[in-house]
Amino acid sequence: MSTSGGVARIRWDLAAAALGMTSLLWGSATLALEGLPAWPAVSVGVLACWLSRRPGQPLARGLATFAGLLGSLLGLLEILGAWMVLHVISS
């Protein structure tokens, strides 16, 4: 956070980058470990992509977009894989 005239300002680019990396790590963990839900990776990744559109440093915003999209894709692949297994078992 930086201060401007005594008012704390949030660095949205760094917050988005942190959320993007969290999404990527959670998406990777869902593939490596059993029992973790995949939806947090998707929702946090979408939030990181949305926040990366705010003003800020281009490198941090690009990292947020890339990591958020990759984490979302990993989460979606896990969800689709579980859905396909459920579909095969039920038919």
- Token digits of residue 1: 């956070």
Alpha-carbon span 65 to 23, nearest angstrom: 11
Q: Give tens-digit pLDDT for 3-46.
A: 666 666 889 999 999 999 999 999 999 989 988 999 999 999 99
> What pLDDT, in 10s, does the model give residues 39-67?
999 999 999 999 999 988 999 999 999 99
Residue 44's CB is within 10 A of a number of other CB atoms, namely 24
Structure letter (DSSP) for residue 2:
E
CA distances, 88 to each of 30, 35, 37, 74, 91 (Å):
21, 20, 20, 21, 5
